[in-house]
Amino acid sequence: MTLSHFQALLIFALVVSAVFALITKNEPREQLRYGIFVFLSFLAVALAVGWIMYPLPL
């Protein structure tokens, strides 16, 4: 299976946010909102950390 880093990140964020939303919230609307929030947070933090690390000589 060949996935790019971003695709792997997307699948990871989608699965984990779905499980977190279903575990922590009871109402379907709350679950949806929280799931979207966690999903977008994963993406935003990963992209932000990626750009912060970009100039580092690794």
Q: By the criterion CB under 8 A, which residues form the site for other proteins?
A: 1-3, 5, 8, 11-12, 15-16, 18-19, 22-23, 26
CB of 11 to other proteins, least distance (A): 6
Task: Report the alpha-carbon distance of residue 58 to residue 46 in Å, rounded.
Answer: 17
Asked if 37 and 55 count as a contact pair (C-beta separation under 8 A), the reply is no
User: Residues 23, 24, 28, 33: what is their CA dihedral angle, to the nearest 10 degrees?
Assistant: -120
CB of 55 to other proteins, least distance (A): 22
CB of 14 to other proteins, least distance (A): 9
